Structure 1
Amino acid sequence: MGKELYTIIEKLKDVPEGICVNIRHSLGTSDIVKTASSEGMTDSSRLKSETYELYPGIELSFHCYLADHFHIRHCHGISVLSIDHCRAGRIGWEMKGGLSLYFGSGDLSFHYTDKCSDSEITLPLGYYEGLSIALDLPVLQDSLPELLNDAGVDVRDLCLKFCGDRETAALPASSRIEHIFSEVYDLPEQTKLPYLKLKCQELLMFLNMAEPAMENALDAHYSEQVSLIRQIHDQMTEHPEKRYTIDELAKEYLINTAALKSIFKSVYGMPVAAYMKHYRIMKAAGLLRNSNESIASVARAVGYESQSKFSAAFKDIMKILPTDYRRQYTHV
């Protein structure tokens, strides 16, 4: 998680806080349009999107975000399908109809863009890197790329297969998805456009052959349930020195324990206990770097009464003992 975050910070080093930068490369021209906006942004958020028009009716956009949440508005119509791939972090949309869909590293999601035309985006880990492919269905009905036409790809059939009546869906990470996207994100500029065209067609042909019923699809949840889970998350992270049980939290927030565990994992990508262990250790790492508190005091501040248990947990996550970790930063 730490390495991913530092990579995204580096990619956004030229984007001021509170600003969203959009870069667009139009089809058949060398013109590049760059715009910046602060609408729907919090003061500390930094967002960047770069869009390539690959074919008539097909656009691919790279996204790099540092934020807890932000609001978006766009004017895509009901006939545009978005296919989103997450490279790092987690992202969630509160969509029209009261559903929230969250997915994370390696996952693939599908939704009609009118469902998120005016929606709240949440980044449970505070960062996100990924890409989206927008398919304009009426345009592609008349001008499908030749290779896709030869392969018998029907984009409307793809929409029905993966979204159907739900209008939103997600597939969990798999080796097949990873194969398609593994080399897409850091291409040299001179080969980027032709490579993206090839990879986009490869993805659509893969989806044309895939059987979604055989996949363990990710679930969307009602936004009210997700809001409740975020409240539970905030309570636990605001008081890392306390040890809450699932039963205690379920009673306090009037939610079924099974639902609490299931929705928490959907939103934050880990079971409650694993997430809180990771959160406590990352919090402790910050205290070790930026304070003179003793190891025992840091351990207590993040919920470990036993220094030996804290040291074992710290080494499990950070691959180094807390004393050695502090010594590294003191030396620097």
Structure 2
Amino acid sequence: MKLHQLTTLAAIADTGSIRAAARSLGVSPAAATKAVRELEADLRAPLVIRGTSGITFTDYGRALVVHARLVLGQLARAEAELDSMRGRAAGKLSIGVTPWVALTFLPETVKRFRERMPEVQLEFFEGLLAVVQPRLRDGSLDFSIGRPPPASPQSEFQNVPLFSTHSAVVARRDHPLAQCRTLLELEDAEWVLNWDPASRESISENVFLRRGMKVPRTIHLAHSLAIVLGLIAHTDMLSIFPWPLVEVISSKENLWALPLRETVDETLVSVVSRRGAPPSPAGACFLECLREVIDEGARSDNPERRRLFHSIELLL
């Protein structure tokens, strides 16, 4: 297998056709086709199926695309690290970010990072597990900042706890249950959560069952924070937001944190990466910027700014 062959295969997977892949690589369609055919001959396996509707991958092809992206990603990281050692930090840093972190700590972190590494291009993805795990797996994402996946000794991912925070139940300000004081009063409510389906078991255990409650019959899942905000603003649905997000959006979105006596849920935010893949210099710099933003915010002389960080406990 040659590097230009793997590059061509990954480009076809990214663009959906040989012609588009050739255009993105700056080669002719004939050269791209030749690279794939030579790779198939070397491996003695069909990788792509050419049809009237376009290109599809065989099982062999899909498996090889994953490895091709890993190889190309690792080479790009190696080049970026050498550039950093020469004092010419450049390249691209791809990060998954859970939506509420994007609305709270991300903007200031990016400003700080850009001052230190202005030549590095940033690429962000919404950090739900269903979005980031495939990209972590194939190497197209450097790391993700958000809820860690379920722990397992055989996991292909490693989690480094970054910080923890508490959460609140939120509703529109004129919600019939807006003044409830206990979670037990919310047993029959309808919920919408910006969490992954894989988190349903932990939701049930951490929020409801351990308090002797029955799990609500209806828990809707939305893969967009904007959808959740729209629904709770105009329906009787409830949701659960980390406190920093409540501080940022409650006045703007006419939302209300219910004055519950209980602590609702502790949210752990981790840096999730592929096991065995150390952070690049740019990745390490970005995480250091994020830690600084949170640490300095918690000690700020500005009461409004300090309130945003009052529930945060740095773990790294």
Same fold (TM over 0.5): no
TM-score bin, normalised by smaller chain: under 0.3
Greater helix share, 1 or 2? 2
Greater strand share, 1 or 2? 1
**TM-score scaled by structure 2?**
0.24
- Could you say which structure has the greater relative contact order, defined with CA pairs below 8 angstroms and 6 or more residues apart? 2
**TM-score scaled by structure 1?**
0.23
Q: Which of 1 and 2 has greater Rg? A: 2
